[in-house]
Amino acid sequence: MKYTFNFPDLGEGLEEGTILEWYVTQGQQVNEGDPLVQMETDKVVADIPSPRKGVVSLLYGNTGDVIKVGAPLVDIETEEAGVPRENDHEETIKEKVAVEPVYETEEDAGAVVGTMEVAGKDSVLPVSNEAIRSKTLSEQQRKALATPVARAMAKEMGIDINKVPGSGPSGRVKSEDILHYNANSQKAGTTQAAPAVSTDDVTYLPLTQIRKAIARNMLHAKHNAAHMSVFEEVEISGLMAVRSKYKQKFAEKGVKLTFLPFIVKAVAMALKKHPQLNSQIDLENNRMVIRNRCHIGIAVDAPDGLVVPVIRDADRLSIFSIARLLGELADKARKRKLTLDEMKEGSFSITSFGSIGGIFATPVLNYPQAGILGVGRILQTPIVRDNEIVIGHIMPLSLSVDHRIVDGGETTRFISDVMEYLTDPLLFLMED
């Protein structure tokens, strides 16, 4: 029996994916759970497993094709009992209609309440005055002329019958029209990604799923949050001394110690003191949603675009654990191996652009989060210490918040606490 496997909803509001690599070919035997295809969504790159055991009979798309969620992905010939054949769909629906009550609304012509016999495949109902009445209705109010079987079939398949062209008398929609419309819709679910095109003046590159998501999310954040930014400089000579002292010990355990683990820890501890920045607004219910756990998102400059994996419960982790997780997540991001679970439920974000030379910036919120901290390039500069001018190390900080939720005073107090932790990292030992 033929089983058509549709591209599943992977969660997080995904609508489509791009085929990166087929793991199977037509005629290949597969077992349940075997990987079929590697798909790129706007969140992750994921392997899609086979839901059935059988033989692959058809692949719906080539490498680079964009597949809509719910569109056919692969056909599998299976021997499992109880798996319906695609051609049996109409008959199955007819059987349901024959034994189940059909309830029509008052808006439907020839409304019937109760059980009714199913008309034959080629049968039509007499022309009613529905067509005449429909001319006086708006497009949204107009009801399609349709046989009872076609109307039930459209409902079963989730098709808006008003969009289906009818081939029967007076444009009446028949069961054949529903099947034809559904087949065309499924074909439309597969689209070919535009190839790169170059001229002497310009080069056109297709948008990847990640790039489309970045564009959509950035625009959404700018239009739906009241951005406010604060800029500060923190002297970190003490932090540099601590890092230099323990850098080698971390390396001996296979972990690279950078400044970022200290920043993550400082942010997490400051969020415990200032929960407004660990929140989001819920306008529909007129409330703020305070996150009681500190899940810190880390913006990673991956080859295909910006991704934000999450360090969960960062306030409860040691500097060593944070450093190890940062290394693992960054490696996965570069190899496009991040999972959805590793990228969701972030409550605050950090973006470190200093590693590539930036000093200050105005970070865009990772909506609906209330805050994001940007970390710039560490600078050697003259400072005053103990009434003397000495060379210090300055780390620039750029904090953006949603001003609808976070006031200026709370913003300043938060970044002041972050700076205090970075100035004297031994303060981490004083926290519960």
CATH of the domain at 12: 2.40.50.100
Total number of domains in the chain: 3
73-76: long-range contacts, CB 8 A cutoff, minimum separation 24 = 73/5, 73/6, 73/7, 73/36, 73/37, 73/48, 74/4, 74/5, 74/24, 74/36, 74/37, 74/50, 75/2, 75/3, 75/4, 75/5, 76/2, 76/3, 76/5, 76/30, 76/50, 76/52
- Measured at the CA of 370, the angle between CA 329 and CA 298, to 5 degrees, comes to 10
Output the pLDDT for position 118: 38
**Is residue 200 included in any domain, yes or no?**
no
Active site residue 393: no
Of 53, 77, 101, which marks where a domain is finished? 77
Q: Report the alpha-carbon distance of residue 145 to residue 130 in Å, rounded.
A: 7
pTM: 0.61
352 and 414 in a common domain: yes
DSSP β-bridge partners for residue 46? 39
With CA atoms as reference, report the closest residue to 370 among 414, 326, 330: 414
Q: Are 364 and 314 in contact (CB under 8 A)?
A: no
Query: φ, ψ for residue 321 (rounded to 5)?
Result: -65, -40
268 and 331 in a common domain: yes
**Is residue 323 included in any domain, yes or no?**
yes
Q: Flag residues of the chain having pLDDT under 70.
A: 11-13, 43, 80-143, 148-149, 156, 170, 183-195, 432
DSSP β-bridge partners for residue 279? 290
**Is residue 280 included in any domain, yes or no?**
yes
262 and 394 in a common domain: yes
Instruction: State the catalytic residue, choosing from 89, 180, 227, 403.
Output: 403
pLDDT (tens digit per residue) in 275-320: 999 999 888 888 999 999 999 999 998 877 788 999 999 999 999 9
Output the pLDDT for position 328: 96
With CA atoms as reference, report the closest residue to 241 among 262, 256, 255: 262
Q: Mapping DSSP to helix (H, G, I), strand (E, B) and coil, where does residue 256 land?
A: coil
**Is residue 198 included in any domain, yes or no?**
no
**Is residue 197 included in any domain, yes or no?**
no
322 and 281 in a common domain: yes
298 and 232 in a common domain: yes
pLDDT (tens digit per residue) in 191-209: 555 667 777 778 887 777 7
Query: φ, ψ for residue 334 (rounded to 5)?
Result: -65, -30
DSSP β-bridge partners for residue 348? 296
Our CA dihedral for 40, 41, 47, 50, rounded to 10 degrees, sits at -120
The domain in which residue 46 lies consists of 2-77
275 and 146 in a common domain: no
Output the pLDDT for position 430: 77
328 and 419 in a common domain: yes
Of 50, 77, 104, which marks where a domain is finished? 77
21 and 161 in a common domain: no
Output the pLDDT for position 222: 81
**Is residue 33 included in any domain, yes or no?**
yes
351 and 286 in a common domain: yes
368 and 238 in a common domain: yes
Of 77, 112, 127, which marks where a domain is finished? 77
270 and 399 in a common domain: yes
Output the pLDDT for position 201: 79
Output the pLDDT for position 13: 62
Output the pLDDT for position 40: 84
Q: What is the CATH number of the domain that holds 398?
A: 3.30.559.10
Output the pLDDT for position 206: 78
308 and 401 in a common domain: yes
Half-sphere exposure of 115 (CA within 13 A, CB side): 5
